[in-house]
Amino acid sequence: MCGIVGQARASGAPVSAALMEHMCAALEHRGPDARGAHVAPGVGLGIQRLRVIDIATGDQPVYNEDRSVAVVLNGEIYNYAELRAGLERRGHRFVTQGDTEVIAHLYEEEGPEFVRSLHGMFAFAIWDERRRQLVISRDRVGKKPLFYAERDGVLSFASELRALMEDKTISREIDHRALDSYLTYLCVPAPLSAFRAVRKLPPASTLVYRDGKATIDTYWRLEFAAKRTVTDIEALHEEIRERIRAAVKRRLVADVPVGALLSGGIDSSAVVAAMAQEASGPVKTFSIGFDHASFNELPAARRVADWCGTEHTEHMVRPDAIEILPQIVRHYGEPFADHSAIPSFYVSRITREHVTVALNGDGGDESFAGYYSYVQNLVAGKLDVLPLWLRRLGGAIGHRLPANGYDRSTLNRARRLLTALPLDAGGRFGRYMSYVDEPGRRRLYSSDYLALLSESGSEPERVIREAWTATSGVDLLDRMQEVDIRTWLPNDLIPKMDIATMAHALEARSPFLDHELMEFAASIPADLKLPDMRKKGLLRDAVRPWLPPEVLDLPKQGFCVPMAEWLRGDLREMAANVLLDRATLDRGYFREDAVRSLLTRHERNEADNSNMIWSLLVHELWHREFIDHGAGSSQPAGLVAA
């Protein structure tokens, strides 16, 4: 696991070696073991390496035999040994024992299309000296990030936004469409970034930059249309277990210690159970807990650890976790308000003290239907038979129901269900995925900011609507899962874990994000995934032989923090001081009365405004870090038209 940077110049002008050094230095936390660079006329590639495989000879960049192809890689290629064997049979000569060199030789033979042969998590860059072209690419589901900026015959890229912005020729002008989307989803959805000049390369995409022009091709898409015939449910359960085992086994290959992040939920527990079967000794597991019982999964994690015979380490997170917020803001490089990043940072820190690689359960909910929104939309779908006027009446009643201060309460879930009734299935799902809908944002924004957003054409709801329209599946559940895999997963869940782990030079591997396992899950008929409307019911039944029954039947908690309570207690004063600070309000984004109302109603327990308060807090701290005091910033504190 590493961090990569680079720049290509169509003119062939020299790339500054000092720039490569500065960009690499900003990624040193991702790869503290070695730094490498390839600088030649018209190109510069840089790498910060975390040594995981081939510790002795695997430093990068790597080259083909005549050094006409140079490669830097962030990630792991799990099938590199098989690929290498085939290349050696065809006469290619290798000088390392690692996975990166396979990329150089495959590219020689197949060009950019070779990426289809890779099985792993990766973002890589290739400089082809003969063709004078740069090739950058990301893995199928977007495990490894890649930001890029193209302007005036120059393309720069980096694994993190903060490193990319070390290139001072990239404009710091804010993309207000991105910030509007951020306040809708708590993250900036791809391909947008917080800066207008910067974009995220989408998952499963390859960008080729040649003669000053960039072309992007998509090489993979998860399809839900083709379904397998299932006649024996027990045989299906066995195949699920075997595929999980195979995905876990691929991710145990390393020349450094390997452990697991154990939340106590079904997904991470299944991963740990499979590791215990495949590993030669006790698995090292690591868990985070809270002093709020509704959010504390330590007892369940401890039970799984005992059941699987792991060496278990626990850590308790309390409201003083706010001290980590500046680190979160700095590492993400753009606003990111999924507050489960807090426990992710802490568990990564304690895990890195013991191991260099950690497996986790990310992706299980998306492939095996683990979210409450799936059940809620399926229930709402059954009510589509009601006349529209009656569903509209239900929506009006929902808007009048009082919030009781707890977002996951039965009352608040009923409010979400009722208010979404008048919408079609795609609209309902978009509503479930939005933390703040368009009317809520309009009440919050100043009139000047509303005018600016209107001018820029901002419409965050298009993110879900367009993904919904493009789905390949027919069944409602398939379509919801496909939208999540195309939006929520690469925009929020994956970046959260990548940044949290790599901030501590910890490599995270996710067996449930194995693309073959995901393709298998997508082929399972939708009506089998939620037996009796039990979230992840099929997966629970499949892994029942592996785990203690009292853990299997626990309700999903998610890797969350008691933010609502924290913001009514120890964090209340800090949030008010930041959000009502004159400098914050003078930026011109938000109405002061609306911000005060958010804080007051939350403090009085009249509503759970914790997501909005936290997102505004991160928004402001990001401004202070990257706009007010950011290196090379030319952006004034007030509003600038996008």
- What dihedral angle (degrees, nearest 10) is formed by the CA atoms of 599, 417, 368, 509? -10
pLDDT at 642: 31
User: What does the pLDDT read at residue 295?
Assistant: 61
- pLDDT higher at 57 or 113: 113
617-630: b (≥16 Cβ within 10 Å) or e:
bbbbbbbbebbeeb
The pLDDT assigned to 294 comes to 59
Residue 23 has which token pair? Answer: 């960009």
**Locate tokens 């390393």: which residue?**
254
DSSP state of 626: I
pLDDT at 399 over 80: no
In the numeric block, which tokens belong to residue 298? Answer: 């330590």
Provide the token pair at 315: 């850590």
Question: Contact, 22 vs 164, CB < 8 A?
Answer: no
Torsion angle of the four alpha carbons 126, 127, 132, 138, in this order, in degrees rounded to the nearest 10: 30
Q: Indicate the range of 61-70, 189-198, 240-249, 294-303 predicted with least confidence.
A: 294-303
Other CB atoms within a 10 A radius of the CB of residue 173 amount to 14
Q: Is 3 left (phi over 0), alpha (psi -120 to 50) or beta?
A: beta
Q: What is the mean pLDDT of residues 358-372?
A: 96
Task: Count, in order, helices (H) and strands (E) of the chain.
Answer: 29, 17
227, 524 Cβ separation under 8 angstroms: yes
* DSSP class per residue in 442-508: HHHB-HHHHHHHHHHT--TTHHHHHHHHT----SHHHHHHHHHHHTHIIIIIHHHHHHHHHTTT-EE
What is the chain's mean pLDDT, rounded? 92
For residue 493, with 0-12 CB atoms within 10 Å meaning exposed, 13-18 middle and 19 or more buried, which class applies? buried
Q: Give the three-class secondary structure for 154.
A: strand
For residue 360, pLDDT beyond 90: yes
Residues paired with residue 43 on neighbouring β-strands, in sequence order: 8, 40
> Which H or E run contains 308?
helix 298-308
The answer to whether 511 touches 517, Cβ cutoff 8 Å, is: yes
Domains of the chain, CATH where assigned = 2-218 (3.60.20.10), 567-628 (no CATH)
Query: What is the DSSP annotation of 239-263?
Result: HHHHHHHHHHHHTT--SS-EEEE--
pLDDT digits (tens, 9 = 90+) for 280-307: 889 999 998 877 655 667 889 999 999 9
DSSP 419: H
* Residue written as token pair 């938000």: 590
Which residue, 271, 200, 159, 189, is CA-closest to 502? 159
State yes or no: pLDDT of 262 exceeds 90. Answer: yes
Measuring CA to CA, which residue among 242, 218, 246, 179 is closest to residue 619?
A: 179
List the structure tokens of 361: 């359960």
Quick one: what percent of the chain has pLDDT higher than 70? 94
Q: How large is the angle between the packed helices 462-469 and 176-185, nearest 10 degrees?
A: 80
What token pair was written down for 174? 């804010």
Helix%, strand%, coil% for the chain, nearest 5: 45, 15, 40
pLDDT in tens, 578-624: 999 999 999 999 999 999 999 999 999 888 899 999 999 999 999 99
- pLDDT for the residue numbered 28: 97
Contact 561, 599 (CB under 8 A): no
- DSSP per-residue string spanning 77-113: ETTHHHHHHHHHHTT---S-SSSHHHHHHHHHHHGGG
Give yes or no for a contact between 358 and 351, defined as CB atoms under 8 angstroms apart: yes
- pLDDT above 90 for 4: yes
Do β-strands 199-200 and 147-151 pair in parallel, antiparallel, or remain unpaired? antiparallel
| Band (404; pLDDT cuts 50, 70, 90) | low
Residues annotated as part of the active site: 2
The closest of 498, 525, 501 to 513, measured between CA atoms, is 498
pLDDT at 144 over 90: yes
Nearest to 179 by CA among 169, 162, 194: 194
